[in-house]
Structure 1
Amino acid sequence: MFGKKKQQPQIDKEQLELIENAQKRIKQKKRLYAHFVLFLIGCVLIIAANTVLGIGKDFTIAGINWFVYAILIWLFLFLYHLFNVFVTNKFMGKAWEQQQMEKLVAKQQHRIDQLKESFRKEEEIKAKSEVFNELNSSEAVETKKDSELTIIVAAAENDAIGRGNQLIWHLSDDLKRFKSLTSGHHIIMGRKTLESFPKPLPNRTHVVITRQRDYKAPEGVIIVHSLEDAIDAAKSDSQPFIIGGGQIYKQALSANLVDKIELTRVHEDFEADAFFPKIDTTIWKETNNVFNKKDAEHEHEFSFITYERI
């Protein structure tokens, strides 16, 4: 086809040189072999011409027939050819081998240098990536955190939240608020909190933390063995809630995992065996507070308070 470029050989210079030397060597040996065959045939013909045909039969030098000198001269030329092939022009001798070895070593060293440079660049990229991640760690956390983890709890003035794995009070509006806020969300709790329910709460996904590896829970309840695993199990929820008990609250607050606290503060002190941790106002800011008086359905005054992390 017109305009079609000649394909370049896919072979490096060292390999090409080796092939060319091998081809020259083969040609030399072929010519030497042809010379040897021609020498043998020529000797036979010279002898036959002298003895059978009688050519130069009477010509002698120092009493020796001329064909003997002719054969000796030709033998000398053949030996010279032989010497020239295997000694004088030995392409693949020690010097040639040493030259090829040096080329191979140089080529391998070049390859090693290239690999070192490649590794160095990879290390630089890795180091830059680690530095970038460190400098942008806070931004990365904000990007990764697509949900707002909220504690919801009802606590007395002395931070009492329960006794004997049961609520100490019954506040109708507090229960309605709990249902309204948590409905449709993941609720994270300890094993004892789950066992305080007659049955799992409707329209909520229960995530239960327990150290018991063989714990049997009702169908649909997610069992995990750490708070971190519980939060991971609720990562698809935009606002999962931690609902108790006391140790789970304490662990979540001490690990700085919580973004908001929805607190029902019951304005009275109670005897209890479970308590909510003290709220550190240097960390938490009160953003909403709704006071509720006692009435026929509520025997205690209480307030709905929202805290957000400063």
Structure 2
Amino acid sequence: MFGKKKTKPQIDQEQLELIQNAQRRVKQKKRLYIHFVIFLIGAIFLILANTVLGIGKDFQIMGIDWFVFAIFAWLFLFVYHVFNVFVTNKFMGKDWEKKQLDTLVAKQQERIDQMKERFIKEETLKAQSQAYSQAQAVAEVKKTEITIIAAAGENDAIGKDNKLIWHLKDDLIRFKELTSGHHLIMGRKTFESFPKPLPNRTHIVITNQENYDVPEGVLTANSLEAAIALCKDDPQPFIIGGGEIYRQGMQFADKIELTRVHESFEADTFFPKIDPTIWVEANNVLHEKNEDHEYAFSFLTYVKR
């Protein structure tokens, strides 16, 4: 009652299959031996039935007693049974079926792998072709001058809660003068911060949203590269924000028109650092603080080295 609990020996799947196969072979041979004994008894009975009991004594087939044909027919069935046990089941049994199935599965898997490989190659070539087309489009635009235009505080702050932190009259006038008649590339949030599209400018909104609803005349793109490709006929498209679009745009831009507001601000969006090894300051115009401008600021122009 309180003895140790007996544990059953664990048999793995391979051992179990070997045991089951051995048991199946034993049963096959056992049935064969029983068949052999029955065949011997049956053959003796047929002989006695004909010779001793006289059953069908006068019945012959092609001059041969009928029981001889019966014994040979039975012998044929017995030989077939022997062949089935020692040849067919041994060499074409479950193991043979499993090997054939494994072979077919392997061939099918090979075909699937080949199809996958072809599909991957086709998709890779397609992606490379699209990338090449976009690169060509960007290269065409690079013949023009891509300009980043922004206003940032001393700590590179550019906005908070999707709004400007300051209102500088001359900065807005300069923005209008520089961008009028050109393409403006911007992120979705920047576009949504406008009450309405700015006049006399083509807006390109970068968004991953499918079927993003925009007013008539406003274009959409799913990447900065795609947006730049839409500006191939513009000699000077402008990238106008927000922070992430500015960061991505640094590698494509030829010029930066920056209004540097001489004050630090609390913000949630920032302009990327300008690397002096890549950009050189070409112009600097200071505007002092006055009644129309709450902060002093400078108009800075950077060009790529």
Change over 3 Å in CA distance of 1:192–1:142 after alignment to 2: closer
- For residues 143-162 of structure 1, what are the structure 2 equivalents within 5 Å? 145-162=142-159
Q: In structure 2, the residue corresponding to 1:198 is in which secondary structure?
A: coil
Structure 2's unaligned 5+ residue stretches are 1-137
Give 1:202's aligned residue.
199
Q: Which amino acid aligns with 2:292?
A: E
TM-score (norm 2): 0.54
Measure the CA separation in 2 of the matches of 1:288 and 1:223: 33
TM-score (norm 1): 0.53
Q: Which amino acid aligns with 1:245?
A: G
2:216 pairs with 192, 199, 219, which one?
Answer: 219
Q: State the percentage of identical aligned residues.
A: 67
Q: Which amino acid aligns with 1:193?
A: T
Q: In structure 1, the residue corresponding to 2:185 is in which secondary structure?
A: strand
Measure the CA separation in 2 of the matches of 1:147 and 1:214: 30
Following superposition, the deviation at residue 235 of structure 1 comes to: 1.0
Q: Is 1:304 matched with 2:299?
A: yes
Give 2:269's aligned residue.
274
Q: Which moved more, 1:226-235 or 1:143-152?
A: 143-152
Q: In structure 1, the residue corresponding to 2:234 is in which secondary structure?
A: coil
Give 1:261's aligned residue.
256
Q: In structure 1, the residue corresponding to 2:249 is in which secondary structure?
A: helix
Give 2:79's aligned residue.
none
Measure the CA separation in 2 of the matches of 1:264 and 1:216: 31
Q: What do residues 267-296 of structure 1 show as CA deviations (whole Å, max 9, x unaligned)?
A: 000000000000000100000000000111
Give 1:293's aligned residue.
288
Following superposition, the deviation at residue 147 of structure 1 comes to: 1.0
Structure 1's unaligned 5+ residue stretches are 1-140
Q: Which amino acid aligns with 1:272?
A: A
Following superposition, the deviation at residue 247 of structure 1 comes to: 0.4
- For residues 57-206 of structure 1, what are the structure 2 equivalents within 5 Å? 145-206=142-203
The count of aligned residue pairs is 168
Q: Which amino acid aligns with 1:171?
A: L
Q: Is 1:245 matched with 2:224?
A: no
Q: Which amino acid aligns with 1:287?
A: A
Q: What do residues 110-151 of structure 1 show as CA deviations (whole Å, max 9, x unaligned)?
A: xxxxxxxxxxxxxxxxxxxxxxxxxxxxxxx97773210000
Q: In structure 1, the residue corresponding to 2:240 is in which secondary structure?
A: strand
Q: What do residues 247-266 of structure 1 show as CA deviations (whole Å, max 9, x unaligned)?
A: 0001111xx21100000000
Measure the CA separation in 1 of the matches of 2:282 and 2:260: 14
- For residues 226-237 of structure 1, what are the structure 2 equivalents within 5 Å? 226-237=223-234
Q: Is the 8 A contact 2:149 2:239 kept in 1?
A: yes
Q: In structure 1, the residue corresponding to 2:275 is in which secondary structure?
A: coil
Q: What do residues 18-64 of structure 1 show as CA deviations (whole Å, max 9, x unaligned)?
A: xxxxxxxxxxxxxxxxxxxxxxxxxxxxxxxxxxxxxxxxxxxxxxx
Q: Is the 8 A contact 2:254 2:304 kept in 1?
A: yes
Measure the CA separation in 2 of the matches of 1:246 and 1:142: 24
Q: Is the 8 A contact 2:141 2:232 kept in 1?
A: no
Q: Is the 8 A contact 2:140 2:232 kept in 1?
A: no
Q: In structure 2, the residue corresponding to 1:179 is in which secondary structure?
A: helix
Q: Which amino acid aligns with 1:292?
A: H
Measure the CA separation in 2 of the matches of 1:171 and 1:269: 15
Change over 3 Å in CA distance of 1:161–1:143 after alignment to 2: closer
Q: Which amino acid aligns with 1:148?
A: E
Measure the CA separation in 2 of the matches of 1:212 and 1:231: 18
- For residues 18-57 of structure 1, what are the structure 2 equivalents within 5 Å? none
Measure the CA separation in 2 of the matches of 1:158 and 1:143: 35
Q: Which amino acid aligns with 2:183?
A: H
Give 1:133's aligned residue.
none
